[in-house]
Chains A and B, each alone.
Chain A
Amino acid sequence: GAVVSQHPSRVICKSGTSVKIECRSLDFQATTMFWYRQFPKQSLMLMATSNEGSKATYEQGVEKDKFLINHASLTLSTLTVTSAHPEDSSFYICSASGLAGSGTDTQYFGPGTRLTVL
């Protein structure tokens, strides 16, 4: 149980294009989903927190107009990187929490999406 998937696993795009990344909880309902960014040899940095049906809460320094997050259902959240530039190249990872009956804040992570902007 507690499987989270991401699609695509890797994407290469030209500068100025927009890229959408999907995050799905496959076997549980995720009341909360999180989006992280990870640069090489660094830890995960939380970008935003989203709850189903409401607006995402962004961390300080993260541009909400550049990183659009939609949490349309209890099993799907999307991150759209708008007008991507080379400095947006990174490893983007989502996580989900809300495992029924767990009573905890345990987060389960997706496999990540590697974005390369040329």
Chain B
Amino acid sequence: QKEVEQDPGPLSVPEGAIVSLNCTYSNSAFQYFMWYRQYSRKGPELLMYTYSSGNKEDGRFTAQVDKSSKYISLFIRDSQPSDSATYLCAMIRSGNTGKLIFGQGTTLQVKP
């Protein structure tokens, strides 16, 4: 079993839709949670960073962490064609400085 599970998709939505991306994990030691966006043939770009449980909002993006369920989500409101990319969740264990554990990534396509 992988430490971090993420549905690879692809996920296709119409422009303007609300997108929900999710990851589950098995290790309760994970404390830091990130979402990265990666365009084709480019490096990942940090979108959201959260520590422990709770919500964080930044513009059209909202990240949620539910540690009791070992489940994290990224919501994208008013999705745009430019949001079409692969979204990677990543997390770090408490006390394990720097070592990111990535999900497989979900490919999102927003159709105009």
Contact = CB atoms under 8 A, between A and B. Distances in A.
Interface of A: 2, 4, 6, 32, 34, 41-44, 46, 49, 91, 93, 95, 97, 104-112, 114
Among B8, B88, B102, find the residue whose CB has the most chain A CB atoms closer than 10 A: B102
A93 B44 contact: yes
Contact of B98 (A4, A42, A97, A112): A97
B43 interface: yes
30 contacts: A4-B43, A34-B98, A34-B100, A41-B8, A42-B104, A43-B88, A43-B102, A43-B103, A43-B105, A44-B44, A46-B99, A46-B100, A49-B98, A91-B41, A93-B44, A95-B43, A104-B32, A104-B51, A105-B32, A105-B92, A105-B98, A106-B34, A107-B100, A109-B36, A109-B43, A109-B46, A111-B43, A112-B41, A112-B43, A114-B41
Contacts of A42: 104
Given A104-B32, A109-B36, A93 B100 contact: no
Contact of A107 (B8, B51, B98, B104): B98
Contacts of A93: 43-44
Interface of B: 8, 32, 34, 36, 41-46, 49, 51, 88, 92, 97-100, 102-105
Contacts of B92: 105
Contacts of A95: 43, 100
Contacts of B51: 104
Contacts of B44: 44, 93, 109
Given A104-B32, A106-B34, A112 B99 contact: no
A109 to B, nearest CB: 4
A97 B96 CA distance: 13
A39 B77 CA distance: 30
Given A43-B105, A44-B44, A93-B44, 10 more contacts: A32-B98, A43-B103, A49-B99, A91-B41, A97-B98, A105-B32, A107-B46, A109-B44, A109-B46, A114-B41
